[in-house]
Structure 1
Amino acid sequence: MKKILITFAAATIMVSACHTGYQVASVERQRILVDARYDVHPDKKAVGFLAPYKQTVDSVMGPVVGRSSHYMTAQRPEGDLSNLLADILVWAGESYGEQPVFAVYNMGGVRAALPKGEVTYGDVLDVAPFENKIAFATLSGADVLQLFREIARVGGEGLSHSVRLVISRKGELLDATINGEPIDPAKDYRITTIDYLLGGTDNMTAFKKCRNINSPQNAENNSRFVIMNYFREQTRLGREVDAKIEGRVTVKD
C-alpha cells in the first residue's frame, strides 16, 4: 500500500492508496498565526501583485461616512453597538412612513466592532456584511412577549431605547416594558428589524407571526446603507455617533 502526503496551509493529511481508491489514514493540524509580524518584511512581489487591486478596493471601502465617539462592540446582555444598530432601525422608520415602537437587531448579524474616530464604508460593511433589508411589521402583544422570552433565553439581542427587559441568569423573562409600560397581550405593536429574522431565524420564532410586513427589497434598503445614512445625517448635523449601555437588558439572580 502506498502512502501519499497532502499538505494544506495548516493541515497535513496522510492518505493511503490502494487498488480501490484512497482512504484517509491520519490527519494532523497546526495553527498558523497571521499577525503584524508579517508586515515587518513584506514580500515585494506579493505587494506589487496586489497593488492595483488594493487601489480599487480602497477607492470603494475608504470613503468616510461619519465619526464614532468611541470604540463600540455588540455583546450580551447589552452592548453599545447592538444598542446603536437597533436605534438606527427605529430612526429610519420616518423615511419609510413608519413609526415603530421598538427594534430588534440580532447579535449574529453584527460581525465586527465599530472603530473610534472616522468610520468608513468598509467599516460599516464589516459590521453588516449581509444582504439583509430593513423590515417593518406588526406583532400582537402576546407575540411580543413570546419574542422577549426567546431573547431572554439566549441572554439578549440588540434592542432599541424604548425596551427594558429584566431576565434571569437561567434565561427567564422576569419583566418587560416598552416606553415604561407593561406589554398588553391584546394590543398590536409596530416593530422594525431585518428581513432575515422574519423567518423565525436565530431562535426568534415569534417573528413568524408578523403581519402587515413592509420590507422593500431594493439594494438601497440593505441594513448597511441604512446605517451609513444615519452616520451621514449625524455628520450633516455636526455630531459624532454615540451610544451607551443604559440598562435595556438587566440580568438578575
Structure 2
Amino acid sequence: MRKYIVVAVVFLTAAISAFGQKYHVTNVTRERILVDSTFADDARGVDVLAPYKHIVDSIMSPVVGKVAKYMAAHNPESELSNLLADIMVWQGRRYGEKPDLGIYNMGGIRAALPAGDVTFGDVNDVAPFENYITFLSLTGEQMKTLCDQIAKSNGCGLSKGIALVIKGREVESVTLHGQPIDPNRTYRIVTLNYLAEGNDGFAVLPEGFDIKSPKDEQARTREFIVDYFIEKTKAGEVIDAEIEGRVVLK
C-alpha cells in the first residue's frame, strides 16, 4: 500500500528575521507528497522528515476498524461508495435526522480501503478533503431532477433503499424504499457540503430548503467515518458492503 506522509514546514520566523519586519506572509499553500523508495534512499530527505515522522505516524497509524474485503470506488455502484453513503445516513442520528437518501460523489473518494485492519490514515486517504455533512430537503419534483443529474454522471454513491436504472444517461426507472418518487412529498437528503453547494453536476441541491450544515468535529467527513468504524468495532463487527443494484446501467 502506498504510504503518504504529509509534512508542512513554514519558515516564517527565519524569513522575518532575515528580511525585516516590513515583510509579511500573504499566502500559505500545502500539498501531499508521495514518499516512495526513491525519496527514502535520499539520506538528507530522511533527516528532514525524521522530526515529523513520529508525530505523523502517531496520528495516522491507529487502527479504527476492520474491513471484510478490499473496497474501491467505481461507477455506477461500488461497495465503497455504498458504504460511505450508508455511513452518512447513519451519522444523521447524531443530529436528530432520518434522511431518506444519502449521496456521496465518486470523485470525492480518493483511495480504496484495504482488506483487514483499517487505520485513521487509510480513512484520511479515502476522504482527504475538508468536507462536512449537510442535510437538506427537496420536493418530489426536485428529487426527480436530482435523479436525472445522477443519471448524467452514470451513478454515484447512494444509500440503501434506492433502485435507479439508467439507460443512455437518462433515468429509465427509480424507486426509493420500494416506492416511486412522489411529486407531492418532501424528501430529506444527507450529503457533503461540497455537493450541497451544487458542485460535481448536482445543480439542484442548492435549491433545497431546511438546510442544516453543522461544523462540529464529528461533522467532518473523515471523523464520522472513523466514528462509524469505531462503533462497529466495539460491537464486534467487521465492516462490509455489497453491490446491491442501487444503480444499474443498461
Letter in 1 for 2:41: P
Partner of 1:24: none
Question: Could you say which residue in structure 1 is the equivalent of 2:220?
Answer: 222
1:245 maps to 243
Give the superposition deviation at 1:202. 0.5
Match of 1:185 among 183, 186, 203: 183
- CA displacement at 1:37 relative to structure 2: 6.0
Partner of 1:47: 46
Question: SS in structure 1 opposite 2:204?
Answer: helix
Cross-structure match for 1:199: 197
- For 2:117, the equivalent position in structure 1 comes to 118
Q: CA deviation at 1:154?
A: 1.0
Q: Which stretches of structure 1, 4 residues or longer, exceed 4 Å deviation after superposition?
A: 34-37
- Taking a change above 3 Å as real, the CA distance of residues 35 and 63 of structure 1, as seen in their structure-2 partners, is closer
Once residues 200 and 184 of structure 1 are traced to their aligned partners in structure 2, the CA distance between those partners, rounded to angstroms, is: 23
CA gap 1:187/1:228 in 2 versus in 1, 3 angstroms = same
Tell me the distance in 1 between the aligned counterparts of 2:37 and 2:137. 52
SS at match of 2:172: strand
- Deviation for aligned residue 1:69: 0.8
Cα 1:196–1:126 change in 2 (3 A) is: same
Aligned to 1:134: 133
Q: Name the structure with the higher strand share.
A: 1
Distance 2:170 2:211 in 1: 29
TM-score (norm 1): 0.82
CA distance in 1 between counterparts of 2:153 and 2:239 reads 28
Distance in 2, matches of 1:241 and 1:116, equals 10
Q: Does 1:38 align with 2:67?
A: no
Cα gap change, 1:94/1:220 in structure 2, threshold over 3 Å: closer, same or farther?
A: closer
Name the structure 2 match of 1:77: 76
Q: CA RMSD in A?
A: 1.6
Q: Which residue of 2 aligns with 1:61?
A: 60
Counterpart in 2 of 1:234? 232
Query: In the aligned structure 1, how far is the partner of 2:136 from the partner of 2:60?
Result: 32
Change (3 A) 1:54 1:135: same
Distance 2:105 2:116 in 1: 25
User: Any idea what the Cα deviations from partners look like across 1:104-150, whole Å, max 9, x if unmatched?
Assistant: 00112111111111111111111111111111111111101100110
Counterpart for residue 95 of structure 1: 94
Displacement of 1:42 in angstroms is 2.1
**SS of 2:134's equivalent?**
strand
Question: How far is 1:209 from its partner?
Answer: 1.5
| Superposed CA offset, 1:86-112 (max 9, x none) | 000011111110111111001121111
Larger Rg: 1
Distance 2:142 2:36 in 1: 49
| CA distance 1:97–1:49, shift in 2 (3 Å) | same
Question: Offset of 1:48 from its aligned partner?
Answer: 3.0
Segment of structure 1 superposing worse, 91-100 or 49-58: 49-58
Output the CA distance in 1 between the equivalents of 2:36 and 2:203: 43
TM-score with structure 2 setting the length: 0.83
Quote the offset at 1:64 in angstroms. Answer: 1.1
Q: Give the deviation of 1:36 after TM superposition.
A: 6.5
